[in-house]
Amino acid sequence: MMSILWILQTRKRITARELAEELEISVRSVYRYIDSLCASGVPITADTGHHGGYRLMEHFNSVPLLFDPDEQKSLVQAAQFAQDAGYPFPDILNRAISKLKTYIGPEQLQQVMLHENRIGVITPSSEKLEEHLQLLSTCAAEGCTLHMVYMRSHEGSAKERLLDPYGLVQWKGNWYVVGYCHHRSEIRSFRVDRIQTLTVTEQTFRHPESFSASQFFMNSLLPGSKEEPDLVHVRISGQEEALNELSRHWLFAHTLTRRGPGEILFRLTEESIQSFAPYFLLSYGKAITILEPASLQKRMVEILKGMLHHYEKNDLN
C-alpha cells in the first residue's frame, strides 16, 4: 500500500495493470489495496476510458504522509493519556497506534518506546462504561435521539426520558453526557454511570451551533460570573503560596478581581458565601485570613462552632 501511494505521488496517472506489473502482484491485489487506501481516507480517483487510470487528487500531494519523530511521540503519549482517562474506543485507538509502530523505522520505534507510558492519568472511577459511552458518542455525532432510563441517585427511582446527546465530559473520574432533555425541555447533564439503559430512537436532532458541552458543564458548576449583579467582594490575606493556589483554583479563578502582594480579591454571590465557599476556605486553615465581608467571617465561625459542639458532644458520650 505504501509503495502504491509513493507511485501515485510521483505520476499523474497509472493503470491497475501497470501497478501490478511494477510491484509484481496480481491486478486483483491492486484493486484490494486501492480499496483499503480509499477506506483509510486517501483521495484516489479512478478515471475510465482509453487514457484512464488511478490518480491522487491534487491537494493530497502537499499533505505529509509520514509523521516526524516529535509527532509520533505526541500521538503515542496522547493515546496513553486518553486510555487512562477512560476513552470509550480503546480497541480502535490501540489499533491505530499499532499501525503507527508497525510502519515506522526501527530507530523511530525505539524513540517512541522511550516516551511511551511516561504520562498517566489517575482516575478514581473504575467502572466499565464503554458500551454507554460509545453509543452516546456516536449518537451525539450523528444526531440520534436516545431513550434513556436514568437513576437520579443510587437511592432514588429510575425515570424514563428522551435525550438529544450533545457531547461527553469527564469530571473528577466520572463521565457526564450533556444534552437536551425532552422531559424538562432544557439542556442538562447526566452521570453516565447512573444510566441504566439506552435505546436509539427514530428521532433525530440538529446539534446547536457553537455549543460546547464542556463549557456548559463548567458553567453549571461555577458559583457565578463577574457579570452577575449583586456580587459581594471577598478580600483574603495570607501566605503567598496559599493565595496563589486559591487564585488558580477552577472554582474561584473566574471570580478573581485583583491579586496583590499578600492579598486577593474575589466577587461571589451571597448564596456562595453561605453555602460552599466557607467549607472550601476552611481547608486552608491559618494560611489565610478572611478580611471581608463580615457575613463570610460570621458563617465561618458558625461552621467551626457547629463542628466543635458536634465533637464535644460525641466526646462526652
Q: Where are the alpha helices (DSSP H) in 103-239?
A: 106-115, 130-142, 213-221
Mean pLDDT, residues 163-177 taken together: 92
Mean pLDDT, residues 213-238 taken together: 79
CB 279 within 8 A of CB 270: no
In this predicted structure, the answer to whether residue 199 has a pLDDT above a threshold of 50 is: yes
Q: State pLDDT tens for residues 69-110.
A: 888 889 999 998 888 888 899 899 999 888 888 877 777 788
Q: What is the mean pLDDT of the chain?
A: 87
Q: State pLDDT tens for residues 307-317.
A: 998 888 876 65
159: left (phi over 0), alpha (psi -120 to 50) or beta: beta
Which amino acid is residue 49, in one-letter code? G
Select from 66, 52, 46 the least CA-distant residue to 2: 66
Q: How many CB atoms lie within 10 A of CB 281?
A: 20
What's the pLDDT at 298?
Answer: 95
Give the Cα separation of 268 and 234 in Å (integer): 7
In this predicted structure, the answer to whether residue 62 has a pLDDT above a threshold of 70 is: no
Mean pLDDT, residues 196-220 taken together: 92
CB 44 within 8 A of CB 34: yes
Stated pTM of the model: 0.66
Report residue 223's pLDDT band, with 50, 70 and 90 as the boundaries: low
What's the pLDDT at 65?
Answer: 54
Report residue 225's pLDDT band, with 50, 70 and 90 as the boundaries: low
Q: State pLDDT tens for residues 112-151.
A: 888 888 888 777 655 668 899 999 999 999 999 999 999 9
Average the pLDDT over each of 170-174, 275-279, 290-294 and give the range with the smallest value.
Answer: 170-174
Give the Cα separation of 283 and 300 in Å (integer): 12
What's the pLDDT at 190?
Answer: 95
Give the Cα separation of 130 and 90 in Å (integer): 9
Give the Cα separation of 180 and 117 in Å (integer): 38
Report residue 162's pLDDT band, with 50, 70 and 90 as the boundaries: very high
Mean pLDDT, residues 1-12 taken together: 85
In this predicted structure, the answer to whether residue 198 has a pLDDT above a threshold of 90 is: yes
Mean pLDDT, residues 227-245 taken together: 86
Give the SS3 label for residue 232.
strand
What's the pLDDT at 66?
Answer: 62
CB 264 within 8 A of CB 236: yes
Which secondary-structure segment (H or E) carries 308?
helix 294-316
Contacts of 273 (CB under 8 A, 6+ apart): 232, 234, 293, 295, 296, 299
What's the pLDDT at 174?
Answer: 87
DSSP state of 156: S
49: left (phi over 0), alpha (psi -120 to 50) or beta: left
Q: Is the peptide bond before 69 cis (omega within 30 degrees of 0)?
A: no
Task: Give percent of the chain above pLDDT 90.
Answer: 49
Contacts of 110 (CB under 8 A, 6+ apart): none
> What would the grid cell of residue 222 be?
461555577
| Long-range contacts formed by 138-144: CB under 8 A, 24+ apart | 139/165, 139/200, 140/165, 140/166, 140/167, 140/168, 140/177, 140/179, 140/207, 143/204, 143/205, 143/206, 143/207, 144/200, 144/201, 144/203, 144/204, 144/205
In this predicted structure, the answer to whether residue 30 has a pLDDT above a threshold of 80 is: yes
Report residue 270's pLDDT band, with 50, 70 and 90 as the boundaries: confident
- The CA-atom distances, in angstroms, between 215 and each of 129, 210, 219, 255, 314 are 23, 11, 6, 16, 44
